[in-house]
Structure 1
C-alpha cells in the first residue's frame, strides 16, 4: 500500500443520521478517480461523534462498497479494550488495514502507549497503521514508533499528521533502517512531496476528498520523475491546504469545499462541531477557483 489514501468524510443528513446514499456515491467517485486507498472512521470522518455501533456499521458498509483499492478502518478509542474489539471487528469483515490513533484526553507516557499498542497487536492479526496526531491525542515519539515496529511485525506503518518534516525525516531514517517494509504516510496535504522525497510511501490526506486529481497527478509525476510537474502540483497542494486556515474546523473546511465542487455530501457536521456560514464558504470558493483551474 502506497500513494494517495483518502480519509473519508462521514456524510450526514439534516437530522444528523448517516447518509448512506451519499457515502456510496462518494466512494464510487474516489475509486473512479483512481485513489490507492479509502480510510473510513477517520478523524475527517468525525469518528469521535459516532457511536461504536455506527462505527461498526460504517466499517461494514464501506467494506461492501470499496472493491478496487485498499480498505482501511479507524479503530481508535480512549479504551484499549474497545480498540481491541473494534480492531477484531475490522479484521473479521475483511479490512486490509486498521488505523489507530493514540488515546486522547489523558496524558500518557511512552511506556503506557507501548502497552496500549502491544496489547492490540498481540490480540489481533490485521496490519496496523499507527496514527500520530499530536494536536488531538498523545504524541508518538520516534523512539516509541521504532520500538513498536521492531517488536511487532503486524504494526505495518504510521500516518504522521504532524507539521514537522524533521520528525517525519527521523521516522523514515530510524524505522525504515530496521523495517524496510514499514510504511510512512503524511497526513498533511502540504507535506506530501516532502514525505515522498525523504523516502516515505504516500499520504492519507483530507483534501483528496474534494480534489483527488491534484494528489494523484503529483504522485504520478513523482513516480515518472517529471519534476516540473511535481513542483507545479506541490505548489497547488500547498495553496489548497490553506482551506484549513479559512474554516473553523477541518470538517467544515472539507465539507464546504466538497459542496462547492458539486459533490453529494451535505454541509452538515455532527455536534459539537458546527458548519461555517456563507462568508467562509465564499472565501473557500475563491481559494478553489484560484487553485483548481
Structure 2
C-alpha cells in the first residue's frame, strides 16, 4: 500500500477556478497549483472543501485531481477529496485512482446521519474499493467515537489517519491516544476552519498537521506562521494571530460559506482569473472585499517584518 509522506510545510488545499462558461478552468487551475507548488507545500489536497467539493461533478473532480497530479509530478502527495452518497464515492474512488492521486480524504456521507456501526460500514465499503491510503474526515454528520476510530485503524489497514473538523479537544485527545495505541504511524490533522487559529491547542494533544486555506490565498503569510510554529516562536505566532488570522476569522464568520469564498476572492484580488464560487456559496460583498485586501496587505507586511 502507498504511504503518505508529507513534507515539513503547510498543507495546500487548492481552489477550483471556473471559466466564464462555468466549467473548470484548467489553465487557471494549472497556474494556481504551479504558483503554490513553488512556495513549497507539504502536500496538495485538490477537490476538497476549499476546492468546492460540494459543487463538483465526479467528472469535474477527476479533471481537477488530474491537473493537480500532472503539475505536482510526484513532488508531494496528492490527496483527492471524495465523499457524499455511497454510489458516488465508490465511483469517484475507482475513477480517481487512475489520475495519479496518492490517497483520498473521505468526507462525510450525504445528508443522513448514522450509528457508529453505520459510519464504520460506510468507511469500510469505501476503503475496500481502493488500495490507496484514506484519511477519514471527522466532522458534520460523520462524528466518530474513539472506539470507532480504533476499530477503523485496527481492521482497515489503508485508513491511515483522521482529520478533525469537530473541535471537541477532549474527544480529539482521546482519539489520538487510543488510535496511537494500535497504530503508531497514524496521521492526525486539524481540519477546523482557519486552522492556524487553533493549531497551538491541537499540537499540544498530538495533532501536528493542519489544513491551511491561507496557503491557497497568500502563501507568504501561511509560511511565516508555519515556520514560527515549527521553531517554537510564540511571539511571532501571537503577532500573526492578533493582526491577521483572528481578524480574518471575524470576517469569515460574518457570512456562511466565507471560509471558501474569501480564499477564492483573495486569488482574484491578487490578479488571478479564477471566477466566482458556485451556489449556494456567495462572493464577498464590496465592503468585505476591501477589508480582505487590507488584511492580506497587512498580513504580508507583518510576515515580512517578522522574517
Query: Does the pair score TM above 0.5?
Result: yes
Q: Distance in 1 between matches of 2:120 and 2:222?
A: 33
- Correspondence for 1:149: 153
- Correspondence for 1:203: 210
Structure 1 position 4, deviation (Å): 1.7
Q: Distance in 2 between matches of 1:77 and 1:177?
A: 30
Q: Distance in 2 between matches of 1:186 and 1:129?
A: 12
Number of residue pairs matched?
289
- Correspondence for 2:278: 270
Structure 1 SS opposite 2:104: strand
- Correspondence for 1:223: 230
Cα–Cα, structure 1 residues 141 and 253, in superposed 2: closer, same or farther, change >3 Å? farther
Structure 1: gaps (5+ residues): none
Q: Return the TM-score normalized by structure 1.
A: 0.89
Measured against aligned partners, the alpha-carbon deviations of 1:98-134 in whole angstroms (never above 9, x if no partner) come to 0001203112111111001112222311000101221
Cα–Cα, structure 1 residues 228 and 279, in superposed 2: closer, same or farther, change >3 Å? closer
- Comparing 107-116 with 160-169, greater Cα deviation is found at 160-169
**58, 63, 66: which one pairs with 2:64?**
58
- Correspondence for 2:292: 284
CA-atom RMSD, angstroms?
A: 2.1
Structure 1 position 93, deviation (Å): 2.8
Q: 2:221·2:299 contact (CA, 8 Å) conserved in 1?
A: no
Structure 1 position 75, deviation (Å): 1.4
- Kindly indicate whether residue 245 of structure 2 is the aligned counterpart of residue 240 of structure 1: no
Q: Distance in 2 between matches of 1:131 and 1:207?
A: 20
- Comparing 282-291 with 5-14, greater Cα deviation is found at 282-291
Cα–Cα, structure 1 residues 251 and 231, in superposed 2: closer, same or farther, change >3 Å? closer
Structure 1 SS opposite 2:128: helix
Matches within 5 A, 1:75-154: 75-79=82-86, 81-134=87-140, 137-154=141-158
Structure 1 position 148, deviation (Å): 0.6
Q: 2:162·2:189 contact (CA, 8 Å) conserved in 1?
A: yes
Q: Return the TM-score normalized by structure 2.
A: 0.85
Structure 1 SS opposite 2:10: strand
Structure 1 position 256, deviation (Å): 1.8
**251, 272, 280: which one pairs with 2:260?**
251
Structure 1 position 227, deviation (Å): 4.1
